[in-house]
Amino acid sequence: MLTVLRNRTYRRLFAAQVIALVGTGLATVALGLLAYDIAGPAAGSVLGTALAIKMAAYVGIAPLVAAVADRVPRRTLMAGADVIRAGVALMLPFVDQVWQVYVLVFALQAASAAFTPTFQAVIPDVLPEERDYTRALSLSRLAYDLEMLFSPVLAAALLALVSYNSLFLGTVAGFAASAVLVVSAVLPAPGVAPGAAPQQGSAYAKATAGARLFFRTPRLRALLALNLAVAASSATVLVNTVVYVRDEFGRPAGDVALALGAYGLGSMAVALALPRVLERFSDRAVMLRGALLLGAGFAALGATAFAPPAAWRWPALLAVWAFFGAAGSMVLTPSGRVIRRSAPAEQLPQAFAAQFSLSHVAWLVTYPLAGWLGAASGLPVAAVVLGLVSVTAALAAVRLWRPAHPVAPVAHIHATTSAESREQLRRAS
């Protein structure tokens, strides 16, 4: 898998992604402490609102950026987003009002909504070979999972030496380093189908082009359903882990990190294995099976949540969390391959922006659903409802993405695509 890092351009872009992720992780910890300083016991409400603002920025801003992406050099767009994020992080230690937190969080996440889809759309041009691109997707999945494990540990170590406001300086340094790495990378020209005309139409038409592509393509509509299935399980983990660990099982606070770590380890294990698996099985087979396995995970979680207190319940919860991580990675890791094959090269920025935006609609629904149901009706009821959401979405994906709609490549060629790569695309299902 690491052989893909021999590509100098990709190596720099991947380093930029990893460093920015670490900075984001430090900011997440520091923001929680800042919210507590400003709002005290109401910090949870502040963070909940900030999370909603984050999702709203992701949903609304990404398509707008995609509408103008063809007018701005991709390197300039990504580096500019990093500079904005660094500037926002630099201002966060000086806020003393809740509304200021909300404004800066929106600005920070709006810049992220510009950076991430652009980054995702660049990688297929940097790594045109199917095998290399698959390895890059797995590395990206690993980077996100490691950030979840590593950033809280790093933040805890730093907080033993400095105040939480200093963590924001780490965030600034991370985004600044990311900008330098992006600027230093020599990006290939965007892939364009032979004879393709420049994109025409109004700003609105360009902003909605990616969404329209998703809604008219069966396999991409299936991908939307798959996003919802994964969001239901991930929201269960990210929102309710602390309640399971502290209230349901009476475990110490440190076990919250252990449970989240089990989720990350499950995801990483699958991400490491997928490059080889996807050489033997189609994206459709792997992704649909992963989504259906999420239903089995919810069944196991329901059995654990409804069971009377017993020693086996805690290791069972860790196993379920690892299972959720593994099944979710089966769905999420190959999704870039599906998008890449479903959109003409000149529409890849809009397609990845649509995936980024529409997938976060699922988070916007499942995050509050997990929290509200867990608080109002109890964890078992939340597990049942979110399990039904996940299973329904998985079955919808199976129905939408039938073998009659194989993932055949759209008639376009990415820069320097080899004959071997094109043959792999032709055979893929």
Domain identity same for 40 and 72: yes
Q: Tell the residue number behind the tokens 């991400």, with chain if given.
A: 271
- Cβ burial of 414 (10 Å; 0-12, 13-18, 19+) is buried
Does 334 reside within a domain?
yes
Domain identity same for 210 and 319: yes
Domain identity same for 181 and 223: no
Q: Report how far residue 203's alpha carbon sits from residue 209's, in angstroms, rounded to the nearest whole number.
A: 10
Does 195 reside within a domain?
no
Contact 133, 336 (CB under 8 A): yes
Does 404 reside within a domain?
yes
Does 197 reside within a domain?
no
Does 173 reside within a domain?
yes
Domain identity same for 277 and 340: yes
- Domain of residue 68 covers 8-190
Q: Report how far residue 55's alpha carbon sits from residue 361's, in angstroms, rounded to the nearest whole number.
A: 7
Give how many domains the chain has, as a whole number.
2
Q: Report how far residue 402's alpha carbon sits from residue 395's, in angstroms, rounded to the nearest whole number.
A: 11
Check whether 406 has a pLDDT greater than 50: no
What DSSP element (H or E) covers 311? none
Does 2 reside within a domain?
no
Which residues lie closer than 8 Å to 48 by C-beta, 6 or more apart? Answer: 368, 371
What pLDDT digit, counting tens, does each position of 177-217 carry? Answer: 999 999 998 888 765 444 444 455 555 566 677 788 888 88
The enclosing domain of 55 has a CATH number of 1.20.1250.20
Q: What angle do CA 262, 381, 250 make, to 5 degrees?
A: 50
Instruction: Give me the pLDDT at residue 296, please.
Output: 95
Q: Among 190, 223, 252, which residue terminates a domain?
A: 190
Domain identity same for 275 and 320: yes
Domain identity same for 128 and 29: yes
Domain identity same for 48 and 117: yes
Residue 292's identity, in one-letter code, is: L
Domain identity same for 310 and 283: yes
- Cβ burial of 353 (10 Å; 0-12, 13-18, 19+) is buried
Does 395 reside within a domain?
yes
What pLDDT digit, counting tens, does each position of 372-391 carry? Answer: 888 788 888 889 999 999 99
Q: For the chain, what's the residue count?
A: 429
Domain identity same for 413 and 277: yes
Q: Among 190, 225, 242, which residue terminates a domain?
A: 190
Domain identity same for 211 and 282: yes
Domain identity same for 267 and 389: yes
Q: Report how far residue 174's alpha carbon sits from residue 9's, in angstroms, rounded to the nearest whole number.
A: 19
Domain identity same for 415 and 319: yes
The model's confidence at residue 5, banded by pLDDT at 50, 70 and 90, is confident
What pLDDT digit, counting tens, does each position of 111-160 carry? Answer: 988 898 888 888 888 988 888 888 888 888 888 877 777 776 777 677 77
What pLDDT digit, counting tens, does each position of 9-68 carry? Answer: 999 999 998 998 888 888 877 887 787 788 776 666 676 677 778 888 888 888 887 777
Q: Report how far residue 94's alpha carbon sits from residue 165's, in angstroms, rounded to the nearest whole number.
A: 9
Q: Tell the residue number behind the tokens 């007018």, with chain if given.
A: 71
- Write out the two tokens for 201: 């139409």
Instruction: Give me the pLDDT at residue 412, please.
Output: 45
Q: Among 156, 190, 224, which residue terminates a domain?
A: 190
The model's confidence at residue 404, banded by pLDDT at 50, 70 and 90, is low
Instruction: Give me the pLDDT at residue 297, please.
Output: 96
